[in-house]
Structure 1
Amino acid sequence: MLDQLLQFDHQMFLGINQGLANPLFDAIMPLLRNKYFWSPLYLFLIIFLIKNYKKNGLICILFLLLTFAMADFFSASLIKPVAERLRPCNEPGFNNEIRLLVSCGRGFSFPSSHACNHFAIAMFLIVVFYKRWRPLLPAGLLWAFSISFAQVYVGVHFPVDVIAGGLLGCMIGYVTGTIFLTTYMQKTWSTGS
């Protein structure tokens, strides 16, 4: 069963990494997974929260940082060293079949920390702001999905890595978002006052 799952994972990887290859994606996907590319969004979020929510906005930023730290810790420090799954670009006998568009990295692959971190942030924001801005649900999930998809496209993660990372991130974001709401006045975040 595990062998079949791994074989299916390899086939899905090749379908994305090679089957969807095109010049537009080759230009965009490395940017989507670059940590500096999203800096303007993070800066906007910080300014928005402080401007609109003052002290509570600062507390929300602290919870966002806690969410990110927990997601990164669970994925990179707890699970990856136990799973020890090689990245596609490091897997012997497979690495010569892939299109690698960025530096491979030396760390392990399962789960994807990029996917975990970004889905955690997205889910936290969805939980906190959904009642006020319902379009945040598809926008947040699409944002996290695009970053995760890019990880596969550029050749550094298998699809199962990003799926597992995304699910873990969603759980972490949901928990921290729920704790934030129950601790810090759900009415404030629902009404925006």
Structure 2
Amino acid sequence: MEEFINKDQEALLFLNGLGTKSFDPFWILMSDKWIWVPLYIIFVYLLYKNYKLRNLIFILIFIGLGITISDQIATIFKFGVLRLRPCHNPFLETKMRLVTCGGMYGFYSSHASNTFFLATFLSALLGKKYKFFTISVFLWAIIVSYSRIYLGVHFPFDVAFGAAAGFLLGGLFSVLAKRTIRIKRLKNYH
């Protein structure tokens, strides 16, 4: 386990070390939740365009529940595992570029979990309707997730684990949403 932790720290120092002061504002922006509001509006519009209003309401409820669960599970892990964020790790503080910092604990990344949840969920509902949607939405999730490593607030494994958790939750919630929509359609048909 110690070797794995050392490799994770080395990967962080390498990726974090690639950064420069001139790119720091860009990556801070990529990590900001509010910068993505226009993208979220586009997501809602695409869902509205492809699903009836009644189904859209259920889809938005599933998104809200899924993001909440994704975020809260990550928080439970943070306070259960108690792995210090790189920016709070005394061993790494002098070796890395400190761009910004977050709370004390970082395993696992809520940003990665939430964005991969949304990417997976939306891909399942919209991926076949728009040619490059799936690639674009996962690229967005990767950029947001990488920003957390660049900024020094998460180790690469924190991000990878968060992405995997979000992917699994997004898959589960998309199946539940599709079944709910299908059940609603069947009831309306009869």
TM-score (structure 1 length as normaliser): 0.88
Partner letter of residue 8 of structure 1? Answer: K
1:143 to 140, 145, 148: 140
Can you list the C-alpha shifts for 1:138-188, whole angstroms capped at 9, x where unaligned?
Answer: 1121111100100000111100000000000000000000111122139x8
What is the deviation of 1:23? Answer: 4.8
After superposing on structure 2, the runs of 4+ consecutive aligned residues of structure 1 that deviate more than 4 Å are none
User: Are 1:36 and 2:34 matched, yes or no?
Assistant: yes
Partner letter of residue 168 of structure 2? Answer: M
CA contact (8 A) 2:110 2:162 kept: yes
Q: 1:133 to 1:24 in 2, by over 3 A?
A: farther
1:176 to 173, 180, 184: 173
> What is the rounded CA distance, in whole Å, between the counterparts of 1:36 and 1:107 in structure 2?
22
> What is the rounded CA distance, in whole Å, between the counterparts of 2:163 and 2:78 in structure 1?
14
TM-score (structure 2 length as normaliser): 0.89
- Residue in 1 that maps onto 2:14: 15
> What is the rounded CA distance, in whole Å, between the counterparts of 1:3 and 1:132 in structure 2?
46
- Residue in 1 that maps onto 2:158: 161
**Matched positions, count:** 183
Residue 152 of structure 2 aligns to a residue whose secondary structure is coil
What is the deviation of 1:42? Answer: 1.2
> What is the rounded CA distance, in whole Å, between the counterparts of 1:50 and 1:21 in structure 2?
39
- Residue in 2 that maps onto 1:191: none
CA contact (8 A) 1:50 1:58 kept: no
- Residue in 2 that maps onto 1:56: 55
What is the deviation of 1:5? Answer: 0.5
> What is the rounded CA distance, in whole Å, between the counterparts of 1:152 and 1:127 in structure 2?
27
> What is the rounded CA distance, in whole Å, between the counterparts of 2:120 and 2:13 in structure 1?
29
> What is the rounded CA distance, in whole Å, between the counterparts of 1:48 and 1:55 in structure 2?
15
1:120 to 110, 117, 120: 117
Is there any run of 5+ residues in structure 1 with no aligned partner, and where? 189-193
Alignment RMSD: 1.8
- Residue in 2 that maps onto 1:5: 4
CA contact (8 A) 1:152 1:159 kept: yes
Residue 58 of structure 1 aligns to a residue whose secondary structure is helix
CA contact (8 A) 2:115 2:166 kept: yes
Partner letter of residue 139 of structure 2? Answer: L
Partner letter of residue 67 of structure 1? Answer: G
- Residue in 2 that maps onto 1:26: 24
